[in-house]
Structure 1
């Protein structure tokens, strides 16, 4: 019996985990063009963008039995694409650094699957730590980092002073740094370096 088109992404992912190729194809159809567009914006190369998106879906299929989605499939696939774009840019920079004459001497081990699994784990860890913040602190932090609102906009929306908003954000960042430590610092540095977010 065919899968209805109105199935949610997460319903399809649950079927995918049970080896449903039809569910995989439906998710592929829903997200291929969106993710290709995202990748092309960063990479400025259709061929590289296609490779990144193709690899992401291959990884999803290979890891279907082991990966648990914490939020939405959209967040999940977007995170994988961001990582793979970052890795592609890093690889380009490596090639430029070594020069064309040295390319044949490069022996790069492809650990991309493990890297993006670590990436997803880190995102899950960050989300868990944000969820553990006090309710008002969590709300302010999400409005700042996820909704992209300024301190003033958040203050106006919540009827609080900007100083209070700044204090909540500072408290949230301190808690994240403490709980995730150097790993988060390295992760954020990479995102800034490659302008992924």
Structure 2
């Protein structure tokens, strides 16, 4: 394992940095990939070359990290928006509450298992492997369920973006006045 690490580590870090735009995060991604390979070495089935496998795993790990960071950013933005909206009058606050309720209703329309997987990933921030372990299902099932959930939820994205932009405009307007 040490030889593999020495042989591929540097190039994998450069590759990961293209996705995460940070050397320290890239090193963390590559370390996670090697840790996962080591941890799953007895059950791991590699159908391509080891080099290809490591690069694909690094890409996937990098993209997962980026997605998680984006989800975290959106949650922080929603929290900031919620704080800012608390200063508006009751009509504005009511509109925000209605928007939040619409989002919750859309998520609640997902089939039960898909809804649980979506919330564990997007709200609780769990990785696919952690969700699979917790629910006793395969990682590929988690991936498929998340793909379907994201497709479904993204149908409504344009409605929410326009509402969120309205709230941001209100915030700027109130700040100026």
Taking structure 1 as the reference length, the TM-score comes to 0.43
Q: Which has the larger radius of gyration?
A: 2
Q: Which has the higher helix share?
A: 2
- Structure 2 length-normalised TM: 0.48
